[in-house]
Amino acid sequence: MTSQVPDLWPPSAQEVVFLLLGVVALGSALLVVTTRQLVHAALWLVVCFGALAGGYLVLTAEFVAWVQVLIYVGAIVVLLLFGIMLTRAPIGRSAGLDSGNRVTAATVAVGTAAVLVTVVVQGFATAYTPLEPGGGAAATLGASIFRSWVLPFEALSVLLLAALIGAIVLSRTDIRPANPAADAGGPAAPTTPPHPPDPAPPPADGSGATAGETGSGRVSRDGG
C-alpha cells in the first residue's frame, strides 16, 4: 500500500478536511487541560471526540467512527458529567485545579513530544496511503471480529460483566465489612449494643455483620 508521496500542493480535499479536524481536536484537547471550569472540560471533550470521529471517517473507518460517537460522546462523557455532579465539584470558575508540578509536567511533555514526533516523522516520512471508500464498514469489520477475533471479543464481554458487578458492589452503601459502627450516625450508635439480640438470633458466620447492621438500623428508626 505504501507508495511514493505525491505532490503535497495543492492538497486534496481529504487533507484539507483532516487538517481542519486536527486543528479542532488539538484546540479542544488543550482547552480540556487548561480550562478553569470542570463542566466545560467535559463539554470540550465532546468536541475533541467528535473531531476524532470525523478523522476516523476520513480514514474510511466508519464503524469505529460511529462506535466512537456512541460510546465516548454518548456514554463516557455523560458518565463523567454524572461523576462531576455526584462529587459536588465546583460548577463555576474555580481556582486551585492545578497541582504544583507544572515544571515537571512541561519537561515530560516536551520530551515525549520531541521523541514521538521525531520517531514518527523519520519512520513514516514516505508512507502514503491512498484512501478508497468502504474499507471499514460494519459488515467487513464484523466479519473480521467474528472470524479471527472471537476469543478476545468473548473475553471482553466477560470483562464488561465483571466491571458491571464491580461497579454495583463498589457503589452500594449497604454492603459493609465487619464494623458497622465506624461510620454509623451519631445518636444511633450507643443504642446498638443492647439491641442486636432482640430482633433475631444472629447467625454465626460472616453474614451476621450485614444482618446486624440492618437490624440495628430498624431498631433505631423505630425508637426515633
Question: Hey, which residues between 33 and 92 contact another protein (CB under 8 A)?
Answer: 33, 38, 41-42, 45, 48-49, 52, 55-56, 59-61, 63-64, 67-68, 71-72, 75-76, 79-80, 82-84, 86-89
In the complex, the smallest distance separating the C-beta of residue 161 from another protein, rounded to whole angstroms, is 10
In the complex, the smallest distance separating the C-beta of residue 222 from another protein, rounded to whole angstroms, is 26
In this complex, which beta carbon is closest to another protein, that of residue 104 or of residue 179? 104
* Residue 41 burial (CB count, 10 A): 18
Show the site string, 16-35: x = touches another protein by CB under 8 A, - = not. --xx--x--xx--xx-xx--
Binders of another protein in range 132-171 (CB under 8 A): 135-136, 140-141, 144-145, 149, 152-153, 156, 159-160, 162-164, 166-167, 170-171
Would you say 15 and 73 are in contact if contact means Cβ atoms under 8 Å apart? Answer: no
* Residue 219 burial (CB count, 10 A): 18
In this complex, which beta carbon is closest to another protein, that of residue 166 or of residue 197? 166
In this complex, which beta carbon is closest to another protein, that of residue 159 or of residue 181? 159
Sign of the CA dihedral with 193 first, then 195, 196, and 201 last: positive
Residue 37 burial class via C-beta count within 10 angstroms: exposed 0-12, middle 13-18, buried 19 and up? middle
Nearest to 57, CA basis, from 136, 140, 141, 144: 136
Count the residues of the shown chain that bind another protein, applying the rule CB under 8 A.
86
CA–CA gap between residue 136 and residue 148 (Å, rounded):
16
In the complex, the smallest distance separating the C-beta of residue 137 from another protein, rounded to whole angstroms, is 10
113 interacts with another protein by CB under 8 A: yes
In this complex, which beta carbon is closest to another protein, that of residue 27 or of residue 208? 27
219 interacts with another protein by CB under 8 A: no
In this complex, which beta carbon is closest to another protein, that of residue 113 or of residue 200? 113
CB contact burial 47-80 (16+ within 10 A = b; e otherwise)? bbbbbbbbbbbbbbbbbbbebbbeebbeeebeeb
How far is the CA of 20 from the CAs of 15, 26, 28, 61, 89, in angstroms? Answer: 9, 10, 12, 18, 33
In the complex, the smallest distance separating the C-beta of residue 200 from another protein, rounded to whole angstroms, is 29
In this complex, which beta carbon is closest to another protein, that of residue 162 or of residue 200? 162
Would you say 174 and 210 are in contact if contact means Cβ atoms under 8 Å apart? Answer: yes
In this complex, which beta carbon is closest to another protein, that of residue 76 or of residue 188? 76
